[in-house]
Amino acid sequence: MSSVDATGLDSALTEAIDQGVTVVTWDSDVSDTARTLMVSQGTPDILGKMLVDMGVDSLTNRGRDPKADTIKYVWHYSQATVADQNSWQVAGEAYIKENFPNWENVAPDNYYSEQDAEKAVSIGASILEAHPDIDLIICNDSTALPGQCKAAQNKGLTKDDVTITGFASPMSIKDYCAAGVIEQWGLWDCGVQGGIGCYLAAYLAAGNEVHVGDKINIPEIGEVEVMPNDCLVEGATTAEVNNGVVLLPERTVFNESNMNDYNF
């Protein structure tokens, strides 16, 4: 399962576990005591850096110098309570401060559109209205990114006017890419992620035990390794048996050259 709220399902899931149900999470986690394994897109450092690097590349391609220019930017995503998205933003901010100290976050409280498609457009429009000289908008949420692109398109802006990037499926963004609104964005293969989640849930439900450091071979996907929970959440502990994190083997950047190679 995948949870929008990091702790809201803990009680129900703990009760299910107590009754012998195997709980595996993927994409968005719950508390690590309320599930066995979490199949994650990547660590906060990996994904925060990826978000910023996609922005850096797009800014460079439109003639800005990310190392020298004052880049005005904001974050637009679902809500601060979604643990994974928030952790990517925190890691991305740290990466920016270390590598691009000349950048300016013009909305340090961030913009949130609560995974609402219509609100994502209206929040996207309010960003463009409040910050007409914005250089970069990072949308680490698959509803915020198409909403932000739609808001820019409604305003007649293209990738030459403002850089928008983030995480979303290729099918939801490729029309905006073809229209010149966005240059590149990223995600991971959701089919692979779902497949890993299903396999691991069945593996554990069949009575197998796993420990941190164990490697499991998944048919048609390959070998994955069980890692401790603190690879996602600093300071998190990991139970001795059947608890931890499995990371996806790779992530993908989409652009005009490869976006039609994917159908999700």
pLDDT for the residue numbered 84? 82
What percent of the chain shows pLDDT beyond 90?
A: 89
pLDDT for the residue numbered 44? 93
The secondary structure of 101-162 as a DSSP string is TT-EES-TT-EE-TT-HHHHHHHHHHHHHH-TT--EEEE-STTHHHHHHHHHHHTT--TTT-
Q: What pLDDT, in 10s, does the model give residues 204-234?
A: 999 999 999 999 999 999 999 999 999 998 8
Q: What pLDDT, in 10s, does the model give residues 32-44?
A: 999 999 999 999 9
Domains and CATH numbers, the chain: 10-41+191-253 (3.40.50.2300), 44-187 (3.40.50.2300)
- In the predicted model, what is the mean pLDDT of residues 59-83? 95
pLDDT for the residue numbered 191? 87
pLDDT for the residue numbered 133? 97
pLDDT for the residue numbered 264? 85
Strand partners, 254: 185
Amino acid making up residue 137: I
Helices (H), the chain: 10-18, 44-61, 83-99, 117-130, 144-154, 170-178, 190-205
Q: What pLDDT, in 10s, does the model give residues 169-196?
A: 999 999 999 999 999 999 998 889 999 9
CA-wise closest residue to 192 among 166, 165, 216, 221: 221
Q: Residue 146, Cα to own-chain centre: how many angstroms?
A: 14
Cβ atoms < 10 Å from Cβ of 218 = 16
- In the predicted model, what is the mean pLDDT of residues 124-141? 98
| Strand duo 244-247 + 222-227: pairing | antiparallel
Cβ atoms < 10 Å from Cβ of 220 = 7
Enter the pTM of the model.
0.88
